[in-house]
Chains A and B, each alone.
Chain A
Amino acid sequence: MTTQTKIVTSRAPVKEAVKDASMVKQKEMMAAHYDRLTSAHETGDKVAATFVPGNLNELIMCFDLLNNLPEVNAIQNGLRRVSGSYVLEAEKIGHSEDVCTYVKSDIGMMAKGNIAPNGKKFPDPNVLLLSYTGCFTFMKWFELLREQYKCETIMLHTPYMGDGKITKNMIDYMVKQLKDEVIPKLERVSGVKFDIDRLREYLKKSTKAEDDLVRVLQSAKSKPSPIDAYFGGIYYIGPIFGAFRGTQDAVDYYKFLREEVEDRLAKGLGPVTPDGDMGKEKYRLVVEGPPNYTSFRQFWKMFYDEGAVVVASSYTKVGGVYDFGFRHNPDKPLETLAEYCLGVYTNRSLPMRIDMLVNYINEYEADGLLINSIKSCNSFSAGQLLMMREVEKRTGKPAAFVESDLVDPRYFSAANIKNRLESYFQMIDQKRAGVDAAA
């Protein structure tokens, strides 16, 4: 199962990236999805756009709608290094340099013809499902899109877990919105009648995939870790955070992935990097914050070249937190969707986020916390400096802070980040030496 394939990336800038078989499989799934989306005008399929946090893919599928996630498109544009020009385009037409670059990448892409990664035009959405979960920007983002597409826009408001708990009022509010607003409107747009049993079936599939995903993520507790739970993790979450949760494809993918990872685990292997197997694991890190996508490979390389593996990350929880026990529950189909939305990482209070990171450092026996602070993302970034100090205080492990942006290449300073990382690794060494000396 450890088949590795050499893939020539579309731009092939440096050299071929080595990929796991699961990555290849995922690439095929994504390609097929983009093909379905871009041929919607021929097939007559209708399209719903929605967000990764609070993504109600199972519900969307109940109405035979195709799910198009603008954040995923922005990521693709970042990885393909076209987001920079889209961001500039959006700024040219009046969007502030200060706001989230995902939005600007999306708007710039629209302005430049709305071309999907497969080179074909994206269809206009039939409905914008504004799942307002964990990020203020979402609300404005879809108001901006609604202005352009003039299509039905459905707000599903997820209250924020400010006091660190889910209350009955929150669940009731969300279920009522689902029943009386979201579902009737989706029925109207799609022309498909809602069938709760169909939803239950999808949710059952979600649960299966979630189980396997958690097994994969938790494999990083082993030493060495068979996965990188940030850079590699971003691939692992792709299907379940995107348009595949609740599908048989996702069930198959996560089973396949789990077996692949278990195989590596059995063989005592570390993660696969774009340059092949990682050498000896020297540092185990927990990472908070999204990555930079425009220099994704370069960023990752700064880690694996030093033998640093990320054993847990918060970013891989933005589309759902499953590793503390939550699973979609087919017996309570609407309540479970509400609970899912409420629990996503960015909808958790700061103290909850800190608890999670502390838990990861302890459970995964990490050497410390690294924060990649994203310039244009207030949802993640506001408060991270306090988080860093608090995690340091509670774990006694060193933390470090680097800054970049998701998809705006202007804010990725490789030299600065590399310097910071190098000093951070030295700090970890010193800490270890101190502990050894004391022992």
Chain B
Amino acid sequence: MATSLNPSATAGIVARASALFEDLSFTSAREWKAAKPGRKVIGYMPIYVPREMIHAAGMLPVGIMGGGDQLEVIHGDAYYQSYICRIPRSTIELGVSGRIDFVDGMLFPSICDVIRNLSGMWKMMFPHVYSHYFDVPQNYRDDIGGNFYANELAELRHDLGELRGKPITDDELRHSIAVYNENRRLVRDLYTFRAERPWQAPAAEVYLMVRAGLVLPVEEHTIMLRDYLAAARAEERPMRDNCRIVLTGMFCEQPPLNLIKSLELSGCYVVDDDLLLVTRWLTGDVEIEGDPLRNLSLAFLHHSESTAAKYEPNQKEKGQHLVRAVKRTSAEGVIFAAPSFCDPALLERPMLQHVLKEAGIPYIAFKYAENSGQMQPIREQAGTFADSIKLWSGA
């Protein structure tokens, strides 16, 4: 384990994560695959897939989060009307341009109708690649949604077993659950650390750290997180007079990294967010003993993040996760940032805003696209928001 308390270690780790982030050909995942014959890679899209299952099959799960602001979309636009978000078109671009041709299977989780329909497009465009729409329950009773989900997991387990030519055993799954439990704990530690000392763990760095987990083998990522946390704790950085905000709405199409940086530069420390939820979707450790499918299923039902893609059965609970996040992190406001044309984020927004209003929590809202270039308006909006929060807290 390469833990170092040398302050410059942060920069080194961030540089590595940054290189992984910028590499639109997924070289590290390609290298992982090439290192041993028979290795397979499974791509997945937002919002959540049980990566334990892929890991248990000895495969590498790779998060496909669109093309960001560096990918030139040449083919993808021919597949989508202007009034559909960016992520499906840049994902198609990644596919058509051969950038993810090493991927042996693709999982399209239940998040919205765009990704749902993309699952069918993928089947047609890449008929030789395993592709599967991964459904999850919207009913949270153990004997209803729980059973349904356990059976869906069993189907995935069967498919991945077929793909590798050998069924996935319970013990393999238990091992993978333990490995991911550890990884999730570290992601949560990182979030806690940032909420405590946001100046020591800038949002863009935290993003890169977590994002690295979408391409690295989980064991490697766990080490990276540990190293970063140790280095970031050891490195004293100047504290700015920023306000503290929770960022919400970015759970699917990714904002440009510049956007995240811009928020901090304009006076807002990000102390919580819903970026890359797959890395901490399950909010506690998954039970290891017993039936692994049932354990994954119960964790999904009772200990998973609240987000727009999920139904909230209890009206009183609607939006409370956001209020709790604000309280937990001592945030002073919320920034709603949604991809343009994103149904889940934008339909959810008014409900969350009503809840915040009632709780007396200030907020602002804007939209972005993964390839947004102009940060000035967002900077101004965030800057004004930060100033007004300071004014309020000073008053």
Contact = CB atoms under 8 A, between A and B. Distances in A.
Interface stretch (A14-22, A158-166, A223-231): A158-166
B235 to A, nearest CB: 41
Interface in B110-154: 110, 112-114, 116-121, 123-125, 132-133, 135, 137-139, 141, 143-145, 147-148, 151-152
Contacts of A100: 343, 347
A34 to B, nearest CB: 27
Interface in A127-174: 130, 132, 135-137, 139-141, 143-144, 146-147, 150, 153, 155, 157, 159-160, 162-163, 167, 169-170, 172-173
Interface of A: 93-96, 98-100, 103, 130, 132, 135-137, 139-141, 143-144, 146-147, 150, 153, 155, 157, 159-160, 162-163, 167, 169-170, 172-173, 176-177, 180-181, 349-354, 373, 375-376, 378-379, 381-386, 390, 403
Interface size class of B (residues with CB under 8 A): 35 or more
A143 B83 contact: no
A403 B346 contact: no
A177 B139 contact: yes
B113 A378 contact: yes
A32 B344 CA distance: 36
Contact of B132 (A163, A167, A172): A163
Top 10 A-B pairs ranked by shortest CB distance?
A162-B133, A350-B120, A140-B347, A173-B148, A96-B346, A157-B138, A383-B117, A169-B151, A378-B113, A382-B117
A173 B346 CA distance: 29
Interface in B76-109: 78-81, 83-84, 88, 108
Given A155-B313, A349-B123, A162 B108 contact: yes
B347 A382 contact: no
A50 B120 CA distance: 27
A96 B112 CA distance: 17
Contacts of A373: 81
Contacts of B308: 140
B318 interface: yes
A381 B114 CA distance: 9
Contacts of B309: 136
Interface in B301-325: 308-309, 311-313, 315, 318
Contacts of A140: 308, 343-344, 347-348, 351
Contact of B123 (A155, A173, A351): A351
Given A140-B343, A378-B112, A382-B84, A177 B144 contact: yes
A279 to B, nearest CB: 33
Given A155-B139, A350-B121, A99 B346 contact: yes
A381 B148 CA distance: 29
Nearest to A411: B83
B121 A155 contact: no
A351 B343 CA distance: 23
Given A181-B144, A351-B124, A381-B81, 16 more contacts: A96-B367, A98-B346, A130-B311, A136-B343, A139-B311, A140-B348, A143-B318, A146-B315, A170-B148, A176-B144, A177-B144, A354-B124, A378-B112, A378-B343, A382-B114, A386-B79
A395 to B, nearest CB: 15
A68 B302 CA distance: 33
A296 to B, nearest CB: 21
Given A180-B141, A378-B112, A382-B114, A144 B133 contact: no
Contacts of A132: 138, 311
A385 B108 CA distance: 20
